Amino acid sequence: MSAGCLWITGAGKGIGRAVAWEYAKHGWTVAVSARTQADLDALVQQAVAAKLPGRIIAFVADVTDQDTLKQTFKAIEQDFGPLSQVIFNAGTHIPNNVRHFSVDPFRAIMEINFLGVVNGLSAVVPTFVARRAGHIGVVSSVAGYSGLPLASAYGASKAALINMCEALQPELEAQSVTLSMINPGFVRTPLTDKNDFPMPFLIDADVAARHIYDGMAKGKFEIAFPLPFVLILKFLRMLPYGLYFRLIKKVTRV
């Protein structure tokens, strides 16, 4: 994949940070955005110290603010030229369960995980369609394949992203715009560090970043990993509900 210019949201920590580093290792100019200036500054300084072939430039932006994302997209292209790729990665997780049921985690997670991506799409899609060029990556999750206990809010946001990407892909392809849906399993990040349950097939963020970089380079629609976990979850979602719920209860011990 020839080097170009990438914008990635949610790049201050975790997967986004690792992906930014991976692209810069391959000579890309990487515009990173997140809400926290200090996280972005630390990433930029580390990239400079490491003398990466590419460079990383920081833009503070909150994905819940549609106008800010439009301004950020415009500023990046004014400074560095047309973007080759955009990866909408920003997301969060708030544990929730029926014993303490509340609308608040659903609203907060949908605002960031789902509408944050929609806000980003509203910034770039008109330009990419007008150019008949560009590659968009949307980070969802294997948690969006089917409902999992204790993840009703998080899983719903990721399922919404999967459904949206499936709907958008034919339309964008007709306009010569590539769309990739990125579905990671458990990745070691500050978010997953808070989990107090076993995480099967857990991988490091740099491993996830390589999967994403390679999948984007191939123009794949679905970039899902790690493969064993993906296959297990895709198999489970095909089962009759009676069997599915029995297995899920046994595995999650709900």
Biggest CA-to-CA distance, the chain? 56
Domain residue limits, the chain: 5-252
Give per-residue pLDDT as tens, 41-68: 999 999 999 999 999 999 999 999 999 9
Angstrom distance (rounded) from CA 30 to CA 169? 24
Q: Are 87 and 139 in contact (CB under 8 A)?
A: yes
Rounded to an integer, what distance in angstroms lies between the CA atom of residue 229 and that of residue 201? 7
Q: Would you say domain 5-252 falls under CATH 3.40.50.720?
A: yes
Q: Which candidate, 176, 141, 179, places its Cα nearest to that of 160?
A: 141
Each residue of 120-178: pLDDT tens digit? Answer: 999 999 999 999 999 999 999 999 999 998 899 999 999 999 999 999 999 999 999 99
- Tell me which residue of 128, 64, 127 sits closest to 90, measured CA to CA: 64
In the chain, pLDDT over 90 holds for what percent of residues? 87
Tokens for 215, please give them: 């999948």
Closest among 233, 208, 202, 195 to 93, alpha carbons compared: 195
The two tokens of residue 141 are 């999750």
Work out the number of other CB atoms within 10 angstroms of the CB of residue 237: 10
Strands 178-184 and 135-139: parallel
- Residue 195: pLDDT band (50, 70, 90) is low
- Look over the chain and give the mean of its residue pLDDT values, rounded to a whole number: 94
The reported pTM is 0.95
Task: Decide: 32 and 56 in contact? Cβ < 8 Å.
Answer: yes
C-alpha dihedral, 166 to 73 to 47 to 211, nearest 10°: 10
CA–CA distances in Å: residue 244 to residues 35, 148, 182, 228, 234: 39, 10, 24, 18, 12
